[in-house]
Amino acid sequence: DTGVSQNPRHKITKRGQNVTFRCDPISEHNRLYWYRQTLGQGPEFLTYFQNEAQLEKSRLLSDRFSAERPKGSFSTLEIQRTEQGDSAMYLCASSLGDRGLDTEAFFGQGTRLTVV
Amino acid sequence: DQQVKQNSPSLSVQEGRISILNCDYTNSMFDYFLWYKKYPAEGPTFLISISSIKDKNEDGRFTVFLNKSAKHLSLHIVPSQPGDSAVYFCVGNQGGKLIFGQGTELSVKP
């Protein structure tokens, strides 16, 4: 399977704990995105990378969130000191190209986070 | 600040008829628009796109129309099939960054 892979698929954690999610993009895709989706809403942009460089981070993202893509391949999203409001589906996507020349982004199945 | 708006949360259509999903946007810097489709427990999948310099793009049963002066686009599905039942997202692309609308849940009844 050469699609976007996200792990874990589900995560239940206690409030205040740290969690880390992993995304493996499609090989040779140089752009990688993280989105968050809550019930009844569309995916909300969090951040994206061009290779290993983080190009933009949403101002809605608090300092508790950090993302890395150390070698321009897989990426991790860490949430520190989780809060109940962090409960959501976290989606990763990847695409080829630059400046929208290849506009199709492929999404993974997501990681569903529940903070109790 | 909702840059992409889908004002109809749901739409129900009879099989074989036309489905029309609407979308409005506020950001004039979008260079492409896309429609994504999402089934439960799956990530969104790309359906069709249109460049901001075009006014129509057609792919099989799916046609997207863009009216730049009105900042409005629509997706037409003809004929609608029960397998088209899903949530449809209108998406604006600004330099590679994708901004999603809230989605419209389409239900196609046999």
pLDDT tens per residue across span A6-24: 999 999 999 999 999 999 9
pLDDT of residue A1: 55
Q: Give A-chain residues touching B3 at CB under 8 angstroms.
A: none
In this complex, the residue of B4, B43, B89 whose CB is nearest that of residue A109 is B43
Share of chain B above pLDDT 90, in %: 85
* Of B90, B85, B93, the residue nearest B73 (C-alpha): B90
Residue A91 forms contact with B (CB below 8 Å): yes
Model pLDDT for residues A29-73, shown as the tens digit of each residue: 889 999 999 988 999 999 999 999 998 898 878 899 999 999 889
Instruction: Give the count of Cβ contacts less than 8 A between chain A and B.
Output: 62
Judged against a pLDDT cut of 70, whether residue B68 lies above it is answered with: yes
In this complex, the residue of B9, B34, B42 whose CB is nearest that of residue A103 is B34
Section B35-58 average pLDDT? 94
With beta carbons less than 8 A apart as the criterion, state whether A106 and A28 touch: no
Model pLDDT for residues A86-96, shown as the tens digit of each residue: 999 999 999 98
Judged against a pLDDT cut of 90, whether residue A101 lies above it is answered with: no
Q: Which residues 28-47 of A have a C-beta within 8 angstroms of B?
A: 31, 33, 35, 40-45
The better pLDDT of the pair A99, A14 is held by A14
Interface of B with A (CB under 8 A): 4, 6, 9, 31-32, 34, 36, 41-46, 49, 89, 93-103
| Separation CA B55–CA A100 (nearest Å) | 18
Judged against a pLDDT cut of 90, whether residue A104 lies above it is answered with: no
With beta carbons less than 8 A apart as the criterion, state whether B36 and B49 touch: no
| Cβ <8 Å between B96 and A45 | no
Judged against a pLDDT cut of 90, whether residue A115 lies above it is answered with: yes
Section B29-44 average pLDDT? 92
Section A70-89 average pLDDT? 95
Share of chain B above pLDDT 70, in %: 99
Model pLDDT for residues B87-97, shown as the tens digit of each residue: 999 999 987 78
pLDDT of residue B95: 78
Section B73-98 average pLDDT? 94
Judged against a pLDDT cut of 80, whether residue B20 lies above it is answered with: yes
With beta carbons less than 8 A apart as the criterion, state whether B19 and B104 touch: no
| Separation CA A67–CA A88 (nearest Å) | 17
